[in-house]
Amino acid sequence: MPGQIVHFEIPADDTAKGRQFWGSLFGWQFEAFPGPFEYHMTRMSDQAGLAITNMEPGKRGTRAYFDVDDIKAGAERVKELGRQADAPRPVPSMA
């Protein structure tokens, strides 16, 4: 459904501490995904997930991913409305 949040990324310089905190708070179990940086995902519901990552050292705050019908058109619409959009990329998948 367009506009629904489907994924969050929580930056953490120390992903072990981040996973320990969020896992203890909500009972989430994280699975590591391979890549050039640490990326640990959990499923929050059938249609939403979350990741703890250190891909941007020193970053604070979360990044939300929204469901759209067309990812490129969605990013262009953000720019038309006077805001900035990161390069369009799909949500990482949990098989």
Report the predicted TM-score, pTM, of the whole model to 2 decimal places.
Answer: 0.77
Question: What per-residue confidence (pLDDT) applies to 88?
Answer: 67
> For 74-83, how does the pLDDT look when each residue is reduced to its tens digit (9 = 90+)?
889 999 999 9
Q: Which fold has domain 1-58?
A: 2,3-Dihydroxybiphenyl 1,2-Dioxygenase; domain 1 (3.10.180)
Domain borders along the chain are: 1-58
CB 28 within 8 A of CB 72: no
**What CA–CA distances, in Å, run from 9 to 18, 64, 72?**
11, 7, 20
